Structure 1
């Protein structure tokens, strides 16, 4: 397996959709709305990709960080045909390298993915909260 992980700028919505659409994360993202996907890519300040020897995007980490204290991982996906090869761990390691020492990476896992994140060294907490995007007051 020859996989190259690197920080990238300018990832297109089309590449993101092709990758995430082949992962378990796909059904949870608005992949039919290219404009919205491009907007959230444009407004993320860290994107780490995993590409195979042919340059095909096979995984990605997308987040927002202050580069000093915390990085919120909004997406981490590996195409299903490449899962189980350590690509997710490579993405997390590269993201940690990019944000630097002293910066915590945090994320919300899809139900059922908790074991994967524990396996790659993340600590689980029961104190996470979120306000759903459809919430109205």
Structure 2
């Protein structure tokens, strides 16, 4: 059996949470907040998934305009399938869905920071984050 890749295939909240727990992303995602996790899936406008049989083993979950910018908000691969090219293929297939000039943008998990230069990303120090519990000052 080989890994099957799908674009915008349905993924249940349970499948998504299980995958995040089996990768290293659960520690930085609100996996105990089912409403949030369901909303993350429902409001993504591009997902590319990797399946081994009926088991979700990888996901690239993005928000994009398909022309200028694509924010790859989750790239998760089950620990048992890491270092087999699954993450790379998820990114390749994500790029194929985008317009010719659309940039792929992501924030790396600390443990994956050294992975991205290896596959062609350039570091950009201009990312800023405003957490929900912070207010924009006037």
Query: TM-score scaled to structure 1, two decimals?
Result: 0.92
Q: Secondary structure at the match of 1:95?
A: helix
Pair 1:92 & 2:77 matched: no
In structure 2, list runs of 5 or more residues that go unmatched. Answer: none
Calculate the aligned-residue CA RMSD, in Å.
1.4
**Runs of 4+ off more than 4 Å:** none
- Corresponding residue number in structure 2 for 1:118: 117
Report the count of equivalent residues: 136
Partner deviation per Cα, 1:32-57 (whole Å, 9 max, x = no partner): 122211111111101110111x1211
In structure 1, list runs of 5 or more residues that go unmatched. Answer: none
Query: TM-score scaled to structure 2, two decimals?
Result: 0.91
User: Does the 8 Å CA contact 2:66/2:97 hold for their aligned counterparts?
Assistant: no
Q: Secondary structure at the match of 2:110?
A: coil
Mapping 1:48-59, distance limit 5 Å: 48-52=48-52, 54-59=53-58
C-alpha distance in structure 1 between counterparts of 2:61 and 2:68, whole Å? 17
